[in-house]
Amino acid sequence: MFDHRITLASLALFCRTRLSLFKTFLVFLSVLTAVWIIGLIGTSQASADSQATQTSSGHGSQNPIDADSALKNLREGNARFVAEKSINPHQSKEILTKLSKEGQKPIAAILSCADSRVPPEKIFDLGFGDLFVIRAAGAVPGVDQVGSLEYAVAHLGVPLIVVLSHTGCGAIEAAVTEAKEEGALKELLTKLSPVAQAVKNIDAAKRLRTAAELSAVIFKDQLPLISPTLDKAVKEGHLKIISGTYDLETGVATLDTDKDSGSQSTPK
């Protein structure tokens, strides 16, 4: 006789087995998807990191990148920032671990104003370990700033220094309008007096912008005169020093060779 109890029990067992297999399959599928997503994120971050700082090959100096490649990276990063397409490279925990173990090899040193609206890593769309940033109001090269630049060049092999001024700079305006200040701030503003002198006869409407652009050029020219270390590095071909001005309103950083010989030109 056909035993219905056995058939039902077999059917129940069969269903449980199939259900269990289905659950296992679902878990397997979830794990596979998770691995794929993690891989995708990793690849995307690695691609962003690689895109942010493309190094040149065959360079014999301490730093794996040369001045022209560093400048190219800065221009490309600023273009991404202006287009609101920043990739925010070199921000991962993995990068922090790598940098803590291997040390830093920043591609450029930036002497910029302390103004909260001018953060170099943001405006050049770079991250940890990319830029050696020295800041002071008006981007003035005081003794501590110059000493820091010397460290970046002599010990980290930085191939490029950018003196970066900006529009709407309070320190430059204070110097140009001969504002009365006290103490260390008064001392700082005296470093901007050559700039104030140079723009005295310029049309008032253009005076502050011209002063901003000129300050970076004047300080760029001063650096090798103030510092034998920087002068030697320039003369030996290890270092290029350029000026630039950041526009607060547009986010565009105009690096000195942009104006006279096109955006893809190499620094002088």
The residues binding Zn ion (CB under 5 A) are: 113, 115, 169
Q: What is the DSSP string of 187-223?
A: HHHHTTHHHHHHTTTS-HHHHHHHHHHHHHHHHHHHH
- Minimal distance in Å, beta carbon 139 to Zn ion? 7
**DSSP for residue 132:** E
- Minimal distance in Å, beta carbon 166 to Zn ion? 6
Q: How far is 48 from 256, CA to CA, in rounded Å?
A: 27
Pairing assessment for the beta strands 160-166 and 108-112 based on DSSP bridges: parallel
Q: Give 113 or 208: the residue with its C-beta nearer to Zn ion.
A: 113
- Minimal distance in Å, beta carbon 118 to Zn ion? 7
Q: How far is 213 from 195, CA to CA, in rounded Å?
A: 10
Q: How far is 102 from 96, CA to CA, in rounded Å?
A: 10
- Minimal distance in Å, beta carbon 165 to Zn ion? 7
- Minimal distance in Å, beta carbon 68 to Zn ion? 28
Q: Helix, strand, coil proportions of the chain in percent (round to 5)? A: 55, 10, 35
What's the token pair of residue 261?
A: 């010989």
Q: Give 137 or 161: the residue with its C-beta nearer to Zn ion.
A: 137
